[in-house]
Structure 1
Amino acid sequence: MSTDFQQARVALGERLRELRTRSPEGRLTGLQLAERLGWAQSKVSKLENGRQTATEADLRAWARGVGQPQAAEELLARLHALETHARSWRRQLTAGHRPVQDALNAEYERSAVLRAWEGAMIVGILQTADYARAIFTRYAELQQSPRDAEAAVRARMKRQELLYQPGRMFHIIMWEAALHALICPPAVLRAQLDRLAGIIGMDTVELGVIPLTASLKIPPANAFWIYDERLVIVEDWHTELWVEDADSIAVYQRTWDRLRDSAVYGADAHRVITRARNTLGPP
């Protein structure tokens, strides 16, 4: 469980305690509330001290039990916020990039259908080792985290084995701008674009590119992955969001669908990639 998640759960518990002690009927003890709700007193204690995650039913019952049913919506909103785990990069990268890559690999292993949007760089699972090394090095400099680029590259390359496993499907969309971003030396980017071109036609990968001239239904924004419609991971500069509530996942699915409407595939995508490669000149 992330530290950020636990802090949010403790904050919810403090709000529950506040509602109990300020009941319109007078201050309720934990035992009185437990008896009223038909719970063990230990459950009240665990919820208030952030040692147990409340369910929606728990929060509705709590609001009724303390005589403040109108507070249910506020409590439910807090619960839904809990279900979005904010994992700060500062904490995640304490031991470097390798542990983060290992955690992501576990989520990939659990998933059969993955959808991705990336507007700024080549999607990780399609990166060459040299390109990945450049990315990890730049981010380690930015976050001032341990330099473990080689271990992180090995973990990312291992993930690519999933591209060749029957039964998995990767639906990936990138903006053409990502094909031109010189976050690495031109020779590395040239090899990376060759790698991308070779991905087109694989039966486990649907690779789409949104041309810079394409008409857009929605502005391109943060990169995100959708894992089997059970989890969305969104990247920002200071944190990574793990989104698990159904309503928020549905928003990302709709976002992905609108971006997909602007993408080109197959031979058209290959032409966009070739155009980007040609701007780099000959090897």
Structure 2
Amino acid sequence: MSTDFQTARIALGARMRELRTEAGLNGRGMAARLSWQPSKVSRLENGKQTPTARDLEAWAEAVGQPDAAAELQGRLRGLESRYRTWRRQLAVGHRPRQEAGISETQRTRVIRGFEASVVPGMFQTADYARHVLSRYADFRTTPRDTEAAVNARMRRQVALYEQGREFRMLVWEGALYVLICSREVLAAQLDRLISLLGLANVSLGIVPFSAPLSIAPGDGFAIYDDRLVISETWNLEMWLEEAEDVAFFSKVWTAMDEVAVYEHRAHRLIARARASLDLP
């Protein structure tokens, strides 16, 4: 069982125990009230058994706090899908994660995203993606399946040309200068970004160094319609489905969008980064 899952299950059990003790009930009393075996109460509270949604509703009723059911059930939904460490995500390499990205993209009409340090995966050239994926595999000491992962990332980009989809991506200007690859590969990547500026269903905004910001650029994230946020940190990836989380990241995206530049102004910033490489 994954550390992520078990840690969250222990936290859920601790919250259930807290509600029981607040109600003045011991374990046997709680079991009697629910017509359960005492061992079930113990397993749930110690994170050794996963409750069902119905268990949690009954628990909230038994402690006299029916409104707590929503909180407990929200924790249950997040047990396995909320936080995923990169070591767990990449246990067999990058390809499965890229395949998951294809699946989510196929389910989505509008993707809004922000990246502060690299070009968004949907816009990467194969060479640039190859460098990014191999560097992180080395850094995180996870299995290297770079070519399979790059191929999957390129397949995902087919969606850029499909009718009925919209990609609204924001990139911090600094990402245009990050040499996570050779200068030649970065130059080709910047040329690729310029070519995407003309696509009908792609909106690419650059957040300039000089932009007055209400918040500083942080971790990259993508919002899939209004149902899911995937946000990356150094050590884990968060899959967030709660409405309040989606609303929060939408607020972050809007704050960046308000100071981003588009079309010819974005072209100018990308071209300036390209010229700084001092290549043909």
TM surpasses 0.5: yes
Aligned to 1:5: 5
Aligned to 1:97: 94
Distance across 2 between alignment mates of 1:80 and 1:58: 9
1:87 and 2:84 correspond: yes
How much does 1:73 deviate?
9.0
Aligned to 1:254: 251
AA at the equivalent of 1:16: M
Distance across 2 between alignment mates of 1:96 and 1:210: 32
Tell me the SS of whatever aligns to 1:232: strand
Tell me the SS of whatever aligns to 2:50: coil
Q: What are the within-5 Å matches in structure 2 for residues 15-164 of structure 1?
A: 15-16=15-16, 19-20=19-20, 23-28=23-28, 32-34=32-34, 50-54=49-53, 58-59=56-57, 62-67=59-64, 69=65, 72=68, 76=72, 79=75, 82=78, 85-164=82-161
How much does 1:12 deviate?
1.4
1:239 and 2:236 correspond: yes
Q: What percent of counterpart residues are identical?
A: 47
Distance across 1 between alignment mates of 2:26 and 2:152: 57
Tell me the SS of whatever aligns to 1:206: strand
Question: Structure 2-normalised TM-score?
Answer: 0.87
Write out per-residue CA displacement over residues 185-227 of structure 1, whole angstroms, 9 at most, x where no aligned residue. Answer: 0000000000000000211100000111111121110000000
How much does 1:231 deviate?
0.5
Distance across 2 between alignment mates of 1:184 and 1:12: 43
Structure 1 residue runs of 5 or longer lacking an equivalent are: none
1:266 and 2:263 correspond: yes
**8 A contact 1:12–1:78 mirrored in 2:** no
Inter-CA distance 267–144: structure 2 relative to 1 (3 Å threshold): same
**8 A contact 2:92–2:143 mirrored in 1:** yes
AA at the equivalent of 1:135: V
Tell me the SS of whatever aligns to 2:83: strand
**8 A contact 1:54–1:79 mirrored in 2:** no
Inter-CA distance 233–29: structure 2 relative to 1 (3 Å threshold): same
Tell me the SS of whatever aligns to 1:259: helix
Tell me the SS of whatever aligns to 1:94: coil
Write out per-residue CA displacement over residues 235-279 of structure 1, whole angstroms, 9 at most, x where no aligned residue. Answer: 011100111110111010001001000100011110111111001
Inter-CA distance 16–121: structure 2 relative to 1 (3 Å threshold): same
Distance across 2 between alignment mates of 1:108 and 1:235: 17
Distance across 2 between alignment mates of 1:26 and 1:216: 52
**8 A contact 1:63–1:72 mirrored in 2:** yes
Distance across 2 between alignment mates of 1:233 and 1:15: 26
**8 A contact 1:179–1:193 mirrored in 2:** yes
Distance across 1 between alignment mates of 2:26 and 2:50: 26
AA at the equivalent of 1:8: A
Aligned to 1:182: 179
How much does 1:147 deviate?
1.3
Q: CA RMSD in A?
A: 3.2
How much does 1:141 deviate?
0.8
